[in-house]
Structure 1
Amino acid sequence: MNTSRRVFALIDCNSFYCSCERICQPGLKRRPVVVMSNNDGCVIARTSEAKALGIPMGASFKDVRKELSKHGVVVRSSNYTLYADISNRVMRVMAEMLPGIEVYSIDEAWGDMTGVADPEALGCNIRDRLAQEIGMPVGVGISTTKTLAKLANWAAKKWKATGGVLDLTDPVRQEKLLRLAPVCEVWGVGHRSAAKLATLNISTAWDLAQFDAATLRKTFGVTMERTARELRGVSCIGFKQGPPPKQAICSSKMFGKRQKELPPIREALTAYVSRAAEKLRSQNSLCSTIQVGLQTQLADLDGPRYANSMTLALPAPTDDTREILALAQRGLEQIFRPGYPFSKCSILLMDLSQRGELTGDLFALGPRPGAERLMAIVDQINEKNGRGTLRFGRVPKKPKWAMRRDMLSQRYTTRWEEVICVRG
């Protein structure tokens, strides 16, 4: 293999949310499983068995409830605590086996295989180890650009003969797959773009790769031109050792039921601020400005509607949950209106900077003594024992405003009281 060229691998978990449920509940193996969105609203994940039954992605639970019951489909509410923990375990294994990884989402990551003597063998080893140690099935696509690696991953999952791993570094194999792959399966080409491309007689990935780059740029923009070049084997999207720090952090969820009183909304905002500040500290950032939002169900045309937000500046950049929360609660009081059936509140952290990046204001109040160490200890305890182990007293253990998750499985890997029990 020519070691001078870059080689990318995309490792993508199969039906990640459903696979997490199966890892901790072996009885679900080979049974159709779907996972629902927040408040058990709609289908957001399906196993292959559920797909074969024709259960559409995004289907409203109330619309497919009878069909799910008829076919014995197992329905689970979103268990984000479980999913995040298993994702961390998957990423740790990848980091141990690859020279470098770039986490792309909760269920997939790019791997750097540049200079690896046998990329396909390494891909098989990664797949086998994740299956044996964690129980997570994955597909591995390998090629000389990210777009080709993504397409190889699609093919690895689609055709069982690949064994779940496809090395597409060879130009001959690249052309063969490009001629077979529909253009809508190319990374960055959605169904709308595919429809527009069809008017130019572009129906396959090969057609897109061969099309005039200047015309693509003029008609669709630089992103489509870059995609075509990547399909030709020209690497335009580099490899990073992890995602850049977020420029803004938002925490927001729909309430399980409408809230008309201020106290429960205060509780919810406290929980959301705590989560947002935790994310802030995880990327070593400080926040200078916040935005508090509150709204009713705006899609409800028959009921009273109201939405408002307030942007507030902190005295100095901080990652202290207490400072952010105190300001957020003041903002909430100003935008709250009695009598409205509120369905959602939110906190947005803005004007983020990295710790040590800004020069301090001589006239601003300094941070509370020991604040940085206190927040670090809180994060360590919650990471070790489960989110919410240490929380503000205002947040009850089982809040009435929490989103509906009537079919929630246990947090098997992060809660001692919910760990799997094996009875003799």
Structure 2
Amino acid sequence: MFALVDGNNFYVSCERVFRPSLRGRPVIVLSNNDGCAIARSNEAKALGIAMAEPWHLIRARLPDAGVLALSANFTLYGDMSDRMMAIAARFGPGQEVYSIDECFVDVDGIPGDLVAAGHRLRARMEQWIGIPCGIGIGGTKTLAKLANHIAKEADRRPGEPYPADFGRVCNLAALPASDVDALFAATGVGEVWGIGRRLSAQLEADGVHTVLDLVRMDPAVVRRRWGVVVERTLRELQGRPCIALDDVPAPRREVSCTRAFGDPMATLPPLVEAVSEYASRAAFKLREDGSHAAQVLTFVHTNPFRRSEKQYSRSATVPLRRPTSDTAPIVQAALRGLEQVFRPGYRFHKAGVILLDLQPATVQQGELALEDDAAPRQGRLAAAMDRINDRYGRGTLHAASTGLGGAARSWTMKQGALTPQYTTNWEHLPAARA
């Protein structure tokens, strides 16, 4: 038995915790460089604002709707996510954090009324951190995901198409078969976890319009027509678990840090700063994972949407002398790659660093200490930098090649409506007034 705990409109909800005046207003959170909507309040959804809709089009289409657009504050969202997941973990003995705003919890064998327990968890979440959430419970992860969709939609739009009784917390496993069939019949097949837009169109073209239509199909027929992935989804919907709880996520196959620039870059010095910063962040992620990388890929490209400008895109991969997670050699390799791919005369829109050929750090620690006396010292230096940056803020210590311009550097992202880092920066701590 699984429960899916999902923060409602998570990025917007995080902002509203510290700015209650935003409640009831149409609010959206924008992607990097304040480009597209990546989170929408219910009020924004009611205005017809679509996910990934460009902000300049929203502003032109709804000039008088009072839509408030905020720059993405990922530092705040990440910290609030950690707090949310710690509370959700109390629901059951096992937890899989699926994304920044949702997690699966193993509730198999939990005594008592799971719906009542779910409402208690929701109340605790709102009281302790102010984040509203939806909880879906089912015998499989796919059913829990579907129950979560029903819980959130029934809360947002009671009676359209789900009864209000299923709002906020929905336990499909506790319902009679007739009620489950009614919910399945009211749900489009495209709402099923793992059924994307293209696959949904294929299913609907063959007469499979609702979840109930899919559930009533023969798994062997589904496998022949749409493959083993859809068959597995069908079996999950029929109550046969095929996807286990992943308590320990699989190690990443690559680590990357890529960004679009606030303004196009035509010269090498600002590109050196940007690539150095991205390589440093990627190296930090590598150390968090306890991994080493053996190769560093650097890429740059122009803006493909500016067809009037000359287009260029290229990448280069530089092998490291030995696998490492230390910032200095990774930055050096990334800059050697940048030298290979840079060409004058182009306006570069984006660059990135991808660390490849990852392996556990523990595999090499003993032998590397013998063959390279500098390895232990470099590891201690990187660990010391991480501790200082964790205490005093990211970027307190950094590679010199990232420059000294701070947030004013020309290649940094545009974040014209960035809110404070309320929970991680002492200077941004909100003040309570009587």
Asked if structure 2 preserves the Cα contact closer than 8 Å seen for 1:104 and 1:243, the reply is no
> Is residue 143 of structure 1 aligned with residue 138 of structure 2?
yes
Asked if structure 2 preserves the Cα contact closer than 8 Å seen for 1:292 and 1:332, the reply is yes
> Is residue 13 of structure 1 aligned with residue 7 of structure 2?
yes
Instruction: Give the TM-score taking structure 1 as reference length.
Output: 0.94
Alignment of 1:280-295 (within 5 A): 280-295=286-301
What are the superposed Cα offsets for residues 11-37 of structure 1, whole Å, 9 maximum, x if unpaired?
Answer: 111111111111121111111101111
Instruction: Report how many aligned residue pairs link the two structures.
Output: 418
What are the superposed Cα offsets for residues 248-281 of structure 1, whole Å, 9 maximum, x if unpaired?
Answer: 0110000000111111111111111111111111
Structure 1 unmatched ranges of 5 or more: 1-6
Match of 2:123 in 1: 128
Match of 2:105 in 1: 111
Residue in structure 1 matching 2:390, options 367, 383, 392: 383
Give the whole-Å Cα distance in 2 for the aligned partners of 1:347 and 1:9.
Answer: 37
Asked if structure 2 preserves the Cα contact closer than 8 Å seen for 1:316 and 1:364, the reply is no
Structure 2 unmatched ranges of 5 or more: 156-163
Deviation of residue 300 (structure 1)? 2.0
Match of 2:422 in 1: 412
Deviation of residue 369 (structure 1)? 3.6
Distance 1:379 1:97, change over 3 A: farther
Residue in structure 2 matching 1:210, options 216, 225, 232: 216
Give the whole-Å Cα distance in 1 for the aligned partners of 2:9 and 2:146.
Answer: 17
Deviation of residue 347 (structure 1)? 0.4
Asked if structure 1 preserves the Cα contact closer than 8 Å seen for 2:368 and 2:375, the reply is no
Which stretch of structure 1 is more off in the superposition, 289-298 or 149-158? 289-298
Match of 2:158 in 1: none
Give the whole-Å Cα distance in 1 for the aligned partners of 2:355 and 2:322.
Answer: 13
Asked if structure 2 preserves the Cα contact closer than 8 Å seen for 1:316 and 1:365, the reply is no
Alignment of 1:342-381 (within 5 A): 342-358=348-364, 360=367, 365=372, 367-381=374-388
Identity %: 43
Give the whole-Å Cα distance in 1 for the aligned partners of 2:145 and 2:25.
Answer: 28
Deviation of residue 66 (structure 1)? 3.4
What are the superposed Cα offsets for residues 327-360 of structure 1, whole Å, 9 maximum, x if unpaired?
Answer: 1111112211123211111100010011223584
Q: Secondary structure at the match of 1:20?
A: helix
Counterpart AA for 1:348: I
Asked if structure 2 preserves the Cα contact closer than 8 Å seen for 1:255 and 1:402, the reply is yes
Asked if structure 1 preserves the Cα contact closer than 8 Å seen for 2:28 and 2:39, the reply is yes
> Is residue 233 of structure 1 aligned with residue 233 of structure 2?
no
Deviation of residue 167 (structure 1)? 1.1
Distance 1:248 1:59, change over 3 A: same
Q: Secondary structure at the match of 1:174?
A: helix
Match of 1:3 in 2: none
Alignment of 1:50-69 (within 5 A): 50-69=44-63
Give the whole-Å Cα distance in 2 for the aligned partners of 1:100 and 1:363.
Answer: 41
Deviation of residue 311 (structure 1)? 0.7
Counterpart AA for 1:401: W
Q: Secondary structure at the match of 1:257?
A: strand
Counterpart AA for 1:397: G
Counterpart AA for 2:169: V
Give the whole-Å Cα distance in 1 for the aligned partners of 2:340 and 2:373.
Answer: 27
Distance 1:120 1:342, change over 3 A: same
Match of 1:219 in 2: 225
Residue in structure 2 matching 1:261, options 236, 251, 267: 267
Distance 1:366 1:324, change over 3 A: farther
Asked if structure 1 preserves the Cα contact closer than 8 Å seen for 2:73 and 2:421, the reply is yes
> Is residue 198 of structure 1 aligned with residue 209 of structure 2?
no
Asked if structure 1 preserves the Cα contact closer than 8 Å seen for 2:93 and 2:106, the reply is yes
Distance 1:191 1:307, change over 3 A: closer
Match of 1:338 in 2: 344
Deviation of residue 49 (structure 1)? 0.4
Q: Secondary structure at the match of 2:299?
A: strand
Match of 2:161 in 1: none
Match of 2:303 in 1: 297
Residue in structure 2 matching 1:157, options 146, 149, 152: 152
What are the superposed Cα offsets for residues 195-245 of structure 1, whole Å, 9 maximum, x if unpaired?
Answer: 211232211111111112122111111110011101100000011114211
Give the whole-Å Cα distance in 2 for the aligned partners of 1:19 and 1:391.
Answer: 32
Q: Secondary structure at the match of 2:357?
A: strand
Give the whole-Å Cα distance in 1 for the aligned partners of 2:45 and 2:382.
Answer: 44
Deviation of residue 361 (structure 1)? 6.7
Deviation of residue 377 (structure 1)? 2.9
Asked if structure 2 preserves the Cα contact closer than 8 Å seen for 1:11 and 1:153, the reply is yes
Deviation of residue 156 (structure 1)? 0.4
Counterpart AA for 1:403: M
Distance 1:361 1:375, change over 3 A: closer
Distance 1:411 1:362, change over 3 A: closer
Q: Secondary structure at the match of 1:169?
A: helix
What are the superposed Cα offsets for residues 359-408 of structure 1, whole Å, 9 maximum, x if unpaired?
Answer: 84799645534222332232233334432233233333122111111111
Deviation of residue 298 (structure 1)? 2.4
Distance 1:363 1:330, change over 3 A: farther
Instruction: Give the TM-score taking structure 2 as reference length.
Output: 0.92
Match of 2:173 in 1: 169
Give the whole-Å Cα distance in 1 for the aligned partners of 2:198 and 2:321.
Answer: 46
Distance 1:373 1:120, change over 3 A: farther
Give the whole-Å Cα distance in 2 for the aligned partners of 1:388 and 1:97.
Answer: 37
Deviation of residue 68 (structure 1)? 4.2
Give the whole-Å Cα distance in 1 for the aligned partners of 2:425 and 2:396.
Answer: 10
